[in-house]
Amino acid sequence: MIWFGIGLFFGLHFIPSLPNVRKRLIGRMGENAYKGAYSLIAFIGLILIGVGYTRMEYQELWTSPIWASHLTLTVMPIVFILQVAAELKGHIRKTLKHPMMLGVLLWALVHLVSNGDRASLYLFGSFALFSLFSIISSIRRGKLPDYNSAKSMHDFIAVGIGVVLFAAVLWGHEFLFGVAATY
């Protein structure tokens, strides 16, 4: 089931890298219907990935180093800041160009180091590979932030909201994902 979810979710996310396909779909469906169908299919893919991940039998592939949890706790606030910065017109987004995908890549890599099992390799490895593909594809298509003057206030907002989101997810990690964050 995890592979079906991964195929559905990432297969869908390859569409923006094929602008002609995306334009044809929007032309056929209309922009709102396209966005609605895209969101629904992506959500279904994520649910299937999550269900498949939890149903996989645990098979350790490597032993996580002792420092892995500390690395994860150090990097994750940055990940949340990058996710928020991707939606704002600040210096972070303007400088990094692809903060959302960089954040997903960091999230996936630190979780791969912290979780040495087969299901985690499939989950976090697929997100890491897709993030790299997405960054390279965006660069090749010339997709860059579309503003000239960045606002420092947007960076402060990104940091503030990112830290609050990190704290909330850290606090609720066990409830949300069934695994307590290791301190």
Read off the pLDDT of residues 129-180 as tens digits, 9 standing for 90 and up: 999 999 998 888 887 767 778 899 999 999 999 999 999 998 988 777 777 7
Are 64 and 120 in the same domain?
A: yes
Are 48 and 64 in the same domain?
A: no
Query: In whole angstroms, what is the distance from residue 133 CA to residue 105 CA?
Result: 10
Q: Nearest-CA neighbor of 152 among 88, 90, 87, 85?
A: 90
Token reading at 143 = 């997709």
Report which of residues 179 and 13 the model is more confident about. Answer: 13
Residue 183's pLDDT is what? Answer: 59
Residue 177's pLDDT is what? Answer: 79
Are 32 and 83 in the same domain?
A: no
Residue 148's pLDDT is what? Answer: 78
Amino acid at 38: Y
Residue 141's pLDDT is what? Answer: 80
Query: In whole angstroms, what is the distance from residue 119 CA to residue 6 CA?
Result: 12
Are 105 and 124 in the same domain?
A: yes
Residue 174's pLDDT is what? Answer: 78
* Structural domains of the chain, count: 2
**Domain range for 12:** 1-55
Are 50 and 66 in the same domain?
A: no
Q: Which residues contact 139 (CB under 8 A, 6 or more apart)?
A: 97, 98
Are 49 and 67 in the same domain?
A: no
Are 140 and 181 in the same domain?
A: yes
Read off the pLDDT of each residue in 69-75 and give the average, rounded to a whole number: 94
